[in-house]
Amino acid sequence: MPPARTPAGRALRTILGQRASAVRWEAQSRLFYRFSHGESRRTLKALHDRHAGQRCFIIGNGPSLNQTNLSLLSGEFTFGLNRIYLAFDDLGFRTSCLVCVNRLVLEQSGSELARVPVPKFFGTVAARYVPSHAEDVTYLRSSPWPGFSRDPVRSGVWEGATVTFVALQLAHWFGFARAILVGVDHNFSTKGPAHQIVTSEGPDPDHFHPGYFGPGYRWQLPDYAMAEFAYATARNAFQADGREVLDATVGGKLSIFPKVRLEEPF
């Protein structure tokens, strides 16, 4: 099969096709980050290896969260992603921080995200949509170059078609020796071309809450190939440093990381 027709080939072609606009955005992002958000740089530097040798949990947004005993994570360091705050009442606790880099989510839910009372890590595009008075916001410069960033201050972070990958780069920067994924189903019932923007017409079947991407909400269809490429680079980066990423998602379709039951780490 010609390389361009394989999943990896399609992912690489998509990456290369996005580079021209990405390079221009990187230049704008770099200036914005350097001159307007020096505090974000200082925050990230201070967080480097702060949790060296510890473990963390990265909580995705898949429907499998509704089959997961998340009470086990109370008191653990947790990365929450995108609109995970919709689950806070049911969880009985808040995630340790919140990560969001997707433009459509920031555009449509920026005001809600700004009010979430935990430290927040947003892509620099958030400056267009998140109220300027939002507290505890650290901005992450986006890198157009595919790969795992070991230094988000100097190199930014590559999004890799999934916010989970951004959280993995932060977890590594923070020094965590073990990152455990929960609710990363890697499986959507809504089908269509990768990155295509669609508008929800009813309750959301692909996330833990029916109103996550509810009626009228615009969102991008997943790019499985690019996400899997990104996850593989995360696995390799953690392993190269004697660390590990585990996947405790109930029934998840992701096959990049070793599978465990959530109860096992406890």
Query: What is the Cα–Cα distance from 142 to 140, expressed in whole angstroms?
Result: 6
Task: Using a cut of 0.85, tell me whether the model's pTM lies above it.
Answer: yes
Tens-place pLDDT, residues 142-152:
998 899 999 99
Strand locations in 153-209 (E): 178-182, 197-199
pLDDT in tens, 218-239: 999 999 999 999 999 999 999 9
253, pLDDT greater than 70? yes
Give the Cα separation of 91 and 224 in Å (integer): 28
Domain of residue 215, residue span: 3-247
Look at residue 261 and tell me if it is in a domain: no
pLDDT digits (tens, 9 = 90+) for 33-63: 443 468 899 999 999 999 999 999 999 999 9
Domain-embedded: residue 257: no
Residue 266 is predicted with a pLDDT of: 74
Instruction: Check whether 120 has a pLDDT greater than 50.
Output: yes
Give tens-digit pLDDT for 65-112.
999 999 999 999 999 999 999 999 999 999 999 999 999 999 999 999
Tally the domains of the chain. Answer: 1
Q: Where are the alpha helices (DSSP H) in 148-243?
A: 152-155, 163-174, 224-240
CA 213, 218, 224, 227 torsion-angle sign: negative
pLDDT for position 163? 98
Nearest Cα residue to 109 out of 87, 86, 88 = 86
Asked whether residue 25 is assigned to any structural domain, the reply reads yes
**64 within domain boundaries:** yes
